[in-house]
Amino acid sequence: MGTRRILTYGAPILRQPTRRVTDLDGDLQRLIDDMVETMYAAPGLGLAANQVGSPHRLFVANPAENRDPAKLLIMLNPELVETEGEILFEEGCLSIPDFREDVRRARRALLRGIDRNGRPLEVEGEQLLARIFQHEMDHLNGLFFVDRLSPAKRFLLGMKLKRAFLDPKT
For residue 107, the domain's CATH number is: 3.90.45.10
Is there a domain that residue 135 lies in?
Answer: yes
Question: Alpha-carbon torsion 67, 115, 52, 124, what sign?
Answer: negative
From the number of C-beta atoms within 10 Å of its C-beta (0-12, 13-18, 19+), residue 117 rates as: exposed
pLDDT in tens, 108-142: 999 999 999 999 999 999 999 999 999 999 999 99
Any domain includes 131: yes
| Domain presence at residue 137 | yes
Using one digit for the tens of pLDDT, what is the confidence trace for 39-83?
Answer: 999 999 999 999 999 999 999 999 998 899 999 999 999 999 999
Handedness of CA 118, 120, 124, 130 (dihedral sign): positive
- Residue 139 counted as domain residue: yes
Asked if residue 7 belongs to a domain, the reply is: no
131 Cβ contact list (under 8 Å, min separation 6) = 87, 89, 91, 103, 105, 125
pLDDT bracket for residue 170 (50, 70, 90)? very low
Residue 18: pLDDT band (50, 70, 90) is very high
Q: What is the pLDDT of residue 33?
A: 97
In 3D space, the residue among 141, 53, 39, 146 whose CA is nearest the CA of residue 94 turns out to be 39
In a domain, 4, yes or no: no
- Catalytic positions: 136
Comparing CA positions, the residue from 166, 141, 169, 170 lying closest to residue 9 is 166
Residue 77: inside a domain, yes or no? yes
How many domains in the chain? 1
Domain span at residue 125 reads 12-166
Which one, of 48, 53, 44, lies nearest residue 5 by Cα? 53
User: What region does 157 belong to: left with phi over 0, alpha with psi -120 to 50, or beta?
Assistant: alpha
